[in-house]
């Protein structure tokens, strides 16, 4: 019997597009949005360090601005870095129907700046019983330790949990621990997929 729903945040409950940031950032340096996107992929270690709390906002800002040679202050940088999200309302409405019937746990790779921004701009998504955030626990999906943390917070066995994520690698890592999964993609009928996993509305 399913007792807990564990859900990703980005591209599930909230859509996001980092290219919005790249385009805005291009106005403050000599690189195009496309080149900034390429640099972001080749220097993803900085994002990983930030998302796991190994570096703080000030160091992240300094490193990014330094590598781009950008002229932008700290507050303006994070204003455009954070504002790349939009609400996926149908998913939120589905989650709200489950609240109180199942334990809800949010499991997200995120950083302190973006999650603080999300809490202010989208307070309606704060419906979960617990939050397992990479920058707080020091691990990122698909590291098995972050799923184990989520299982500990769920007060459930792995076989009693369903995990939703948009990235195949993250899904496979959860399945390796015995967690039931839903690979969320454009066009996924989430309510139907959850019913097929044994949840009721």
- The percent of residues in the chain predicted with pLDDT above 70, rounded, is 100
**pLDDT value at position 7?**
98
Q: Please tell me the pTM assigned to this model.
A: 0.96
Q: How confident is the model at residue 160 (pLDDT cuts 50, 70, 90)?
A: very high
Beta carbons within 10 angstroms of residue 142's beta carbon: 18
Q: How confident is the model at residue 100 (pLDDT cuts 50, 70, 90)?
A: very high
d(C-alpha 49, C-alpha 164), whole Å:
24
Categorise residue 100: left if φ over 0, alpha if ψ from -120 to 50, beta otherwise: left
Q: How confident is the model at residue 194 (pLDDT cuts 50, 70, 90)?
A: very high
Among all chains, which residue has been given the structure tokens 């399913």?
2
**pLDDT value at position 49?**
98
d(C-alpha 114, C-alpha 130), whole Å:
18
Mean pLDDT of 176-201: 97
Among all chains, which residue has been given the structure tokens 């993609």?
185
Q: Are strands 180-183 and 4-7 parallel, antiparallel or unpaired?
A: unpaired
48-58 confidence digits (pLDDT tens): 999 999 999 99
Q: Are 164 and 184 in contact (CB under 8 A)?
A: yes
């Amino acid at each position: 019997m399913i007792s807990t729903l564990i859900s990703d945040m980005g591209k599930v409950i909230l859509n996001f597009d980092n290219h919005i940031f790249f385009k805005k950032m291009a106005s403050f340096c000599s690189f195009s949005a496309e080149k900034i996107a390429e640099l972001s992929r080749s220097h993803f270690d900085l994002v990983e360090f930030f998302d796991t709390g190994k570096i703080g906002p000030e160091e992240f800002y300094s490193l990014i601005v330094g590598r781009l040679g950008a002229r932008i202050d700290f507050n303006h940088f994070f204003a455009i870095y954070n504002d790349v999200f939009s609400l996926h309302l149908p998913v939120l409405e589905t989650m709200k129907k489950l609240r109180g019937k199942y334990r809800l746990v949010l499991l997200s790779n995120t950083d302190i700046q973006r999650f603080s921004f999300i809490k202010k701009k989208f307070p309606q998504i704060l419906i979960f019983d617990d939050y397992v955030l990479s920058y707080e626990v020091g691990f990122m999906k698909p590291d098995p330790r972050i799923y184990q943390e989520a299982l500990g917070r769920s007060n459930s066995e792995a076989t009693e949990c369903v995990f939703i994520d948009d990235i195949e690698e993250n899904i496979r890592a959860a399945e390796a621990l015995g967690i039931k999964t839903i690979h969320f993609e454009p066009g996924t009928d989430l309510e139907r997929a959850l019913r097929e996993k044994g949840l009721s509305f």
